[in-house]
Structure 1
Amino acid sequence: MSRTDDPEEDPIAYFLQDIAYQGKSERTQAAYERVLRDFARFLDDEGDNYATAVATLAAATHRDCMAYIHSLRGTVAESTVATYASYLHRFYGYMTQVGTFDSNPMALVVEEIDESIDTDPQRREISLMEMRSFLDRLTHPLDRAIVVTLLKTGIRAGELCNLDQRDLNLTDDPRNGVTVRPQLEGRPDSLYVSATPTRGSQTNGEHRRASNKRQRDTVIPVDSELRNVLTRWLAVRPDSISNANPLFTGTADNWGRRITTDMVHHTVTSHASDAGWYHDGAGAADNVTPHYFRHFFTTHLRDRTGDRGIVKYLRGDVAQDIIDTYTHDWGSRVRDVYEQHIYQLL
């Protein structure tokens, strides 16, 4: 991606540079650039004069934006149209805030288009039996560990990538010389998900490439199924080249390096594609991506427990007073409810 310190020279590059500083992943940056560059080309009547197209970004009207949105319909899924609209809306909103553009033409468009920018779209329904069959086909220890961890904990891909060995406490721990966090002492078979790591920052002595979007630190139970999967993974896990000692390390070209969100996304979508659950051009309503497993976890556990508070606690979405209550009541509330109701997958 190109870079610039002059927003008028290349407003798209300037915006992408800023969202990188804000901690957006490389995949997110690439998605924004793809849409914004496509819109810039759309604004150019000739379709091949990029310099002219950049110059017209600031002059685009709400009708230009509506015409672009209309041109997308029939070529991509409706949910993807809404996503592209949200990208343009954020771009123009930000460039208006920093004073490069005079107004945000997408503000009116978002009100007028039929799609709402839905952060929690209706998603494909997958039964427990179908999910079990899906997992049966995952034989690689790393792939299996990634997917089962996402399904059993509801954590995000970035949060999974940021896990270090110290964040996992196991009964009959097979690891030698691993000191777990103080927060896990007295809490066997549990996983600590910190709210601290942000993309570009140093955490546990290592530069991080993903952000944890969790509001609060959370301790998540590890049930017997996940414990067994992680134990098998740890038996073959490549030694890490990082002193931070990541929990998940690569087994291919990135041997011994911390896995990335791109790797997690590729792992999930490759297997989902084989199962008919992922298609290029389809939207969140149809495709199974790493975030789908967070939706699966939330929906199934909430329906089984009837306790939205505990599910929000496990997701890291709740206020400090609720966190304090559930953390204090770990033994008799969170752990017991989780182990009683968590679905069996293997």
Structure 2
Amino acid sequence: MSAADGTGDEGTVGDDPVGYFLEDMELHGKSPRTRAEYGRVLRRFETFLADEGRGPAGGSNEPAAASHRDCMAFVHELRRDPDLAESTTATYAAYLHRFFAYMTQVGAFDANPMALVMEELDERIDTDPTRREISVPRMRRFVGGIAHPLERALVVTLLKTGMRVGELCNLDLRDLTLSRGLAGYDVGTRAQLDGRPDSLFVASEPSVGESYNGEERTASNKRKRDTVIPVDDELSETLVRWLAIRPDAVSPAEPLFVGTGSGWGERLTPEQVGRVVREHAADAGWYERGAGATENVTPHYFRHFFTTHLRDRTGDRGVVKYLRGDVGDDIIDTYTHNWGHNVRETYERHVYSLLR
């Protein structure tokens, strides 16, 4: 650790847990901009705790000793800041939650006081800004206009699973099981997919710049835990049509999605997928350069679409959070142990149709 961070020369937390966390973020490959954003919020939290007149207990405190009431008071102060939108407040709260979760995981802190706070925030704050609202019938027409098997497979997979674009790009053939015959493909070899036909496994481990399944990755998976997502008939049909024309992969990792133009057979990158989505969205009048997240349809919009429509249809926030990879150990245990009943049955009964 650097002396400037105040964490000592041997990588110990010392008197500066925020500095320790920020340096570990750098070691994990986070960009300078991301580290700066986290640092700004976490230092603000430190200042809040140190001010005897602002905390709920009326005395100064340190992050390692912060209670959930300290965290709630800080979030309440953020809400009262006229310069912060609700979505920004939710983002800052998520930064704090990740800080405490990491410090607890490495044994530096005893507990994560933000866990209870995030449960309340999840009910009150939408972390997505107000976005263009697209109905299922309109999205169905949009998908119907995509003819290329690869491009349709990319869009339908994002819409049917709610996964992030980096997670999509990191999928390998071993992460997919399909009941339909796939001659010449060795799919579904993950142990986590045993007994779970027609499923996608989304791991939490892949990180940008690190080797995973024998290949250096260009994107990170950001979900909290590994997730098994059901593949319904429409997604299965779409993937089979793609695999029927998929070029041989350059990588021995056998990526699920590879290039069919420049970069023939190479794993697709988030930038390439984003370009595909933007082109089709622009054709539909759903993308304009400079318009921003409130108007433009991007790969991340599909995650918003998935969350909104599936949550409204199921009324089950837990299942949707599990599928998105946004939940902790308690919910993961519930949905993992009862996967067939709680996830697949709920998902298949309520998921929207995009092809018919």
Common fold, TM-score beyond 0.5? yes
How far the C-alpha of 1:122 sits from its partner, in A, is 0.8
* Partner Cα separation in structure 2 for residue 282 and residue 124 of structure 1: 11
Q: Could you list the per-position Cα deviations for residues 198-226 of structure 1 after superposition, in whole angstroms to 9, with x for gaps in the alignment?
A: 11111101101100000000000000000
Contact 2:155 2:277 in 1 (8 A): yes
* Partner Cα separation in structure 2 for residue 319 and residue 192 of structure 1: 17
SS, match of residue 341 in structure 2? helix
Q: 1:191 aligns with which of 166, 188, 200?
A: 200
1:141 corresponds in structure 2 to 149
* Partner Cα separation in structure 1 for residue 280 and residue 265 of structure 2: 23
Cα 1:175/1:94, change in 2 over 3 Å: farther
Contact 2:201 2:227 in 1 (8 A): yes
Q: 2:214 aligns with which of 199, 202, 205?
A: 205
2:288 corresponds in structure 1 to 279
2:138 corresponds in structure 1 to 130
Cα 1:286/1:321, change in 2 over 3 Å: same
How far the C-alpha of 1:94 sits from its partner, in A, is 9.4
Contact 1:175 1:234 in 2 (8 A): no
Q: 1:230 aligns with which of 218, 239, 258?
A: 239
2:175 corresponds in structure 1 to 167
TM superposition score normalised by structure 2: 0.68
1:54 corresponds in structure 2 to none
* Partner Cα separation in structure 1 for residue 83 and residue 190 of structure 2: 49
Cα 1:147/1:21, change in 2 over 3 Å: farther
SS, match of residue 264 in structure 1? helix
How far the C-alpha of 1:229 sits from its partner, in A, is 0.2
* Partner Cα separation in structure 2 for residue 161 and residue 292 of structure 1: 16
* Partner Cα separation in structure 2 for residue 243 and residue 176 of structure 1: 15
Please list every run of 5 or more consecutive structure 1 residues that lacks an aligned counterpart in the other structure.
Answer: 1-6, 8-17, 33-85, 97-107
Contact 2:26 2:35 in 1 (8 A): no
Q: 1:311 aligns with which of 297, 312, 320?
A: 320
SS, match of residue 191 in structure 1? strand
Cα 1:22/1:249, change in 2 over 3 Å: same
Residue type of the partner of 1:133?
R
Contact 2:25 2:35 in 1 (8 A): no
How far the C-alpha of 1:112 sits from its partner, in A, is 5.7
Cα 1:23/1:290, change in 2 over 3 Å: farther
2:166 corresponds in structure 1 to 158
Q: 2:306 aligns with which of 297, 311, 315?
A: 297
How far the C-alpha of 1:24 sits from its partner, in A, is 4.8
Contact 1:124 1:286 in 2 (8 A): yes
Contact 1:250 1:259 in 2 (8 A): yes
* Partner Cα separation in structure 1 for residue 354 and residue 228 of structure 2: 21
Residue type of the partner of 1:123?
R
Residue type of the partner of 1:293?
F
Q: Aligned residue pairs: how many? A: 264
SS, match of residue 158 in structure 1? helix
How far the C-alpha of 1:170 sits from its partner, in A, is 0.2
Given the alignment of the two structures, is residue 243 of structure 1 paired with residue 252 of structure 2, yes or no?
yes
Cα 1:154/1:175, change in 2 over 3 Å: farther
Given the alignment of the two structures, is residue 113 of structure 1 paired with residue 83 of structure 2, yes or no?
yes
- Cα-Cα RMSD: 2.9
1:339 corresponds in structure 2 to 348
Task: Name whichever of 320-329 and 309-318 sits farther off.
Answer: 320-329
Residue type of the partner of 2:260?
T
Q: Could you list the per-position Cα deviations for residues 118-151 of structure 1 after superposition, in whole angstroms to 9, with x for gaps in the alignment?
A: 6410111001111011111100111100000000
* Partner Cα separation in structure 2 for residue 281 and residue 111 of structure 1: 27
* Partner Cα separation in structure 1 for residue 30 and residue 274 of structure 2: 15
Percent identity between matched residues is 59
SS, match of residue 293 in structure 1? helix
* Partner Cα separation in structure 1 for residue 349 and residue 175 of structure 2: 23
Contact 1:145 1:230 in 2 (8 A): yes
* Partner Cα separation in structure 2 for residue 95 and residue 294 of structure 1: 31
Please list every run of 5 or more consecutive structure 2 residues that lacks an aligned counterpart in the other structure.
Answer: 5-23, 45-77, 90-126
